[in-house]
Structures are given as C-alpha cells and as structure tokens.
Amino acid sequence: MIHDFLSHLIRGYDLFIAWFSIAYILFYIFLSILSYWAIIKHLKYQKYLDEEVLLRSNHILGVSIVAPAFNEGVNIVYNVKSLLSLTYPKYEIIIVNDGSTDDTLEKLIAEFDLVKIDFYYQEKIITQPVRGHYKSTNPVYSKLLIVDKVNGKSKADASNAGINSSQYPLFLCTDVDCILKRDTILKLAKPFMENETRVIACGAGIRISNSCEIKEGFLFKVHYPKEWYPRFQELEYVRSFLFGRMAWSQINGLLLVSGGLGMFDKDIVIKAGGYWHKSLGEDMELVTRMRRYLHDNKEPFLIKYIPESLCWTEVPSTKEVFLRQRIRWARGLVQTLYLHKEMFLNPKYGRTGFLVLPYFFSFEFLVPIIEFIGVITLIASFVFGMIDYQYLLIISLLVYLFYLSITIISILIDEILYKSYANYKELLILIGMAALEPFVYHPITVYASLKGYWLFFRKKEQNWGVMVRKGYTTPTKK
C-alpha cells in the first residue's frame, strides 16, 4: 500500500519536473534571443548618437554619485580620488560616512581640506540623524561633499541620507570601494537623455575585481580571479548581466538594478519612498516599488540596462562570507515578493504583475525548493527500488548541456565584445569552471537560498553583516 502510494507520488513528481524543466528551458531560450537582439541593437544605436555631442550639450543632466562608507579608512582616500577622476561635466560626489568607528572621516578631512559647513538639508526621506556636512576649501575638490551621520545599520539608510543631500536630478548609487570606468556616468546617463519615454533607472555590467591589479584606486589590469568562490561568481555575473538583464531590459521588465552600480531618477525614488531600511534586498525592493508607484499613477516608464562592464567590485572569497551574502539575498527576494504580493496577476500592474513577478516567483524563488524536493524524491526512489535510471540520465543530461551551452555562449559573447581577460588561458579556465559549477558551486547556492527562506519565514532578524575585504593586488614596477 505504502509502496504503491510512493510510486504514484514519485511518478507524479517526475512528470512535474519534466514539464517544469521544459518550461524553464523554453523561457530561457526566449530570454537568450531577446538578449542577443538587445545587444545588437545597442551596438548599432551607439553609432548614431555620438557621446561627445551629449558632453557638449547645454541640456546635459547633472548626476550625484552617492557612496555610503562604513569603516573604510584603509582605502577611502584612494576610493574618493578614483571617483573624482570620472569624466563628466556636471556631477558631484557624496560620500556618506555612516557612523564609522575608525578614522574614515578624519582621513577625509585631512586629505581633502574639509571644513564643516552650513547646509540646507531637507529630509525628504527619513533617516538616522545627520551630524553635519563637509566641503573642501580647495577648489580642486569642489565636487566633493561629505555627509556625516549616525549609523543606520544598513546601506539603505546611508543612501537615503545621500539622496537627501544631493542637488542633481539623477543619482548614481555605488559602493565606495567600487572602481568605475572613467566614462561610467555618461554611459548610464545617456538613456535618460535620449528616450522620449521617461527612464527611471539604468544599470550596467559589474565585474569582479578580486585578483585584479589596482593602483591607488585605479584599475591597472584585469585578471580572472584566482580563488574558487570568486571564479564561480564571475560565471554568474557574466551570465546574469549579459543574458538575463539585457533580455528583461528589452521588454522593459527589469526588476533589479544592482546596488553596486545603478543610476536613478531622484524625483521618482523620493516619491516612491526611497530605499527601505529594513529590506535585505534593498535594490530589488526599490525598483519593484518604483514600478508599482508608476503603475498606480498610470505613468509610462522605462528601466534600461547597458551591456558593458562599467564597474569592478570585490566579492566574497570565503565560504563563510559568501553564505552570509547569499542568505541575505535569498531573504531579500522572498521579502520583496511577499511585500508586493498584491501585484501578482493584477491587470493594474501590466507586465510587472503578469510576467516579471511570476517569473521571479517560479524560476528564482521556487527552483531551490523544487531541487531540494527532487533530491529527497531521488533518495526515496533509490531506497524503495523505484528509480528509473534512464529517465534520470536523460533529464539530467538535457538540463546540464543546456546550462553549459548558455554559459559558454555568454562567456564567448562577452570576450568577443569586450576582451575582458588578460589572455586565453584565463578564458579557458573560466570555461572549465562552467563545467564544474553544477556539481561544486550550485549546491552551495541552493543551500544558502533554502536557509534564507527558512530564516525569513521564522521571522528571525538578520543584519547586513560585514563584508570582509582582502584588498587588491598592486602592480609591480618593471
């Protein structure tokens, strides 16, 4: 009796997995086609609108760079000098000292000749108290503004204080340790100026700086990461940024603009309420809330993505830090989906409610759960002697080959377009890591997702945690 029941249950689940896998593959093929189309369109359109024309225009939009800093005393001076070197005629840099307990503020004051000033501060978004604003007495650093505030225990709170202090209609949110290309501001601001429909946010590719050679805050030479965890994350970044986000941008379905590099329409962000300080995935939650606000007000909008690597950032290199980050990401995903559940399949929210959110629920949130149940089913099938080895082999091989094809295509497109690596040896290592990813790295990400869901539903509090950074490799003199 029990054997028959388990047999029917396992066969039913096998059938579900087969159809789910087919749907997943078909949808990913659809996204791949959209992504390829969007990349070709982007490359062709670049030829028709010269960026130099925009730079000389009297109507160029001003941009405020907002970069929160907490205990960044070791590299803060180099980081700020790197931001000051960006090429754009109208921008400011706002460093938000989020209650640092080290010498971050003291180093900034000493290096950039800062003095405390009277500043008209409007708290359009509620944050922890701001203790003061600092400007330089040296005209060379006139673009720099330092905001000193009480620690808010989240990047969101610090970012909101920077937004409140900004003067320009666009702001670029980044991490103070991120290394940006010199033309990053122009690349991201361009869609806001060239589209008739209002652009409310724009993102671009982020790459991993682990093992790269950095000199005084400037990227000297790009290298493929030497450590295992950063290597696997490099694969994720290439695949998700080049394929996934380009496809969603093409159909105006982007739900995530990375907190490490994202430009936003300040007016819409403020009207939507700014970053939510309790969110564990504040970048995704903000974009979802912005979309919701504009749908509610029946205003047309676009969220764009640039298929170029404009930012390099250090990622977790140890299992402990990596798991802490991914658990938080998983909690942020389910938190955002739960918070905006009224939008699901609601005609009022158009493609956001009928396509984007259902996709994230089905293929982002549910997949780790389905995989975990699949493992339990596989073990039960083996124990009770009901395993169909031929069926298992066919399904597993199909999914593996499809994943490998998509990943290798992503790597090759990225290399053809942008020549991201120092030599072909690094490229071949990356392809080799792609073959190992499903067996070595993927199970760890599934575990992190499941633990994140578990902690969310248990309503156990989790802070952002500290990202332990190893720093960069300094180029050697020859």
Residue type for position 59: H
∠ Cα 332 430 405 (to 5°): 80
- Whether residue 178 contacts residue 261, with contact meaning beta carbons closer than 8 Å, is answered with yes
Predicted TM-score (pTM) of this structure: 0.90
Contacts (Cβ under 8 Å, ≥6 apart) of 87: 182, 183, 185, 186
Closest Cα partner for 295 from 334, 252, 237, 241?
252
Buried b (16+ CB within 10 A) or exposed e, 11-28: eebbeebeebbeebeeeb
- Whether residue 182 contacts residue 289, with contact meaning beta carbons closer than 8 Å, is answered with no
Joined tokens for residue 81: 């000098």
pLDDT at 71: 92
Domain ranges, ordered by start, for the chain:
1-48+178-460
20 vs 233 pLDDT, higher one: 233
- Residue 125 CB: number of other CB atoms within 10 A? 20
Residue type for position 417: L
∠ Cα 404 409 411 (to 5°): 95
Tell me how far apart the alpha carbons of residues 174 and 63 are, in angstroms, rounded to a whole number.
Answer: 13
Q: For the CA atoms of the chain, what is the radius of gyration?
A: 23
State the average pLDDT for the chain: 88
Check pLDDT > 60 for residue 364: yes
Q: Which residue has the tokens 């159909």?
A: 251
pLDDT tens per residue across span 50-107: 666 666 776 789 999 999 999 998 889 999 999 999 989 999 999 999 999 999 999 9
- Collapsed DSSP state (helix, strand, coil) of residue 233: helix
* Section 389-404 average pLDDT: 84
Tell me how far apart the alpha carbons of residues 264 and 174 are, in angstroms, rounded to a whole number.
Answer: 11
∠ Cα 52 57 60 (to 5°): 100
Q: In the chain, pLDDT over 90 holds for what percent of residues?
A: 55
Give the residues across from 313 on adjacent strands. Answer: 208
pLDDT at 194: 85
pLDDT tens per residue across span 370-385: 999 888 888 887 877 7
